[in-house]
Amino acid sequence: MNLLAICITWNRPRLLGRSIHCFLRQTDPNARLFVLDDAGQYRPQKHERWTLASVPTRYPSMGEKRNALIDMAMKRYPKTDSFMLWDDDDVYFPHTAKCVSAALEQKCWAQPRLALEMTEGGKSLKRVETHSRNPKEQFNKSLCYGGCWAWRMDTFIELGRFPSTNYSEDLKVAFPCLERFGPSADSSPDEPWYYYNRLNNSISKEGRGFYALRGKQNIEPVEELSIGWNGPDIFNMPIEPGIHPRPW
């Protein structure tokens, strides 16, 4: 697959720099990253494997912003046949793109059944299920951890793309996909590759109106985006044995 990682961002230069760093460590040579900033905060950049577009006009909704990004990216990388969400605050291990591409070879959409979260002490990671279970111990339709979902491009277009909403725009594509095509392919059959950064989660910190609230922030231009790792060394933290149920 020619996988595209799509990253929308707003006033998070530190997190964005490390998110691009995560992508540059990917082992899939065919994967590409497209970042869209609508704060006009950065110098636009074009590289062989990744692109940063920075425009000064805020999009009305997250759904419209994601759709605009995909339109730009398809012109930049016309061989793209699939995409995955790549949130600027989460962490993606080097085998992410390979695992997602392999899953999309099997089915038209993919989600990992496992993710990583920080333990309470902050010194290790734990494996968590990304789906809740019903009393019969079967996965149900309660979908979470959307920052790692993926679709084939033709399926996404057939479903009508992202709706014009600021909340759960990913779910509003995932649920029709579930009803039409059945459960997604598992993109983490062996080990999780996605770290969910709960500390920076927008909804839990700012509520469902976070998109509008963020739009009121003062934006300071960044002359040169610093790309590299910062924060706790997630990649080398020990992982606790076992698998934990989804935390909510």
- Note the pLDDT of residue 241: 96
Query: Is residue 197 scored above 80 in pLDDT?
Result: yes
Q: Phi/psi at 188 (nearest 5 deg)?
A: -130, 60
Residue bearing the bigger pLDDT, 51 or 166: 51
**Residue 78: exposure state from Cβ atoms within 10 A (0-12, 13-18, ≥19):** exposed
Q: Could you tell me the residue range of the domain that residue 45 belongs to?
A: 3-129+143-244
- Note the pLDDT of residue 207: 61
**Residues 27-76: pLDDT tens digits?**
999 999 999 999 999 999 999 999 999 999 999 999 999 999 999 999 99
Looking up residue 149, the CATH number of its domain turns out to be 3.90.550.10
**Is 166 a member of any domain?**
yes
**Is 174 a member of any domain?**
yes
Instruction: Determine contact, residues 99/110, Cβ cutoff 8 Å.
Output: no
- pLDDT confidence of 133, banded at 50, 70, 90? low
- Note the pLDDT of residue 65: 97
**Is 138 a member of any domain?**
no
Average of pLDDT values for 197-201? 69
**Is 95 a member of any domain?**
yes
Q: What percent of the chain has pLDDT over 70?
A: 89
**Residues 7-38: pLDDT tens digits?**
999 999 999 999 999 999 999 999 999 999 99
- Note the pLDDT of residue 198: 79
**Is 134 a member of any domain?**
no
Average of pLDDT values for 228-244? 95
Q: What is the pTM of this model?
A: 0.92
**Is 135 a member of any domain?**
no
**Residues 202-227: pLDDT tens digits?**
555 556 676 677 776 888 999 999 99
- Note the pLDDT of residue 93: 98
Order of strands, edge to edge, in the sheet holding 91-92?
91-92, 194-195, 114-118, 125-129, 239-244
Query: Is residue 142 scored above 90 in pLDDT?
Result: no
Interatomic CA distance for residues 127 and 246, integer angstroms: 9
Instruction: Determine contact, residues 51/78, Cβ cutoff 8 Å.
Output: no
Query: Is residue 138 scored above 90 in pLDDT?
Result: no
Average of pLDDT values for 173-196? 93
Q: Which of 37, 34, 147, 143 is nearest to 87 (CA)?
A: 147
**Is 136 a member of any domain?**
no
Number of domains comprising the chain: 1
Instruction: Determine contact, residues 152/82, Cβ cutoff 8 Å.
Output: yes
Instruction: Determine contact, residues 39/92, Cβ cutoff 8 Å.
Output: no
**Is 79 a member of any domain?**
yes
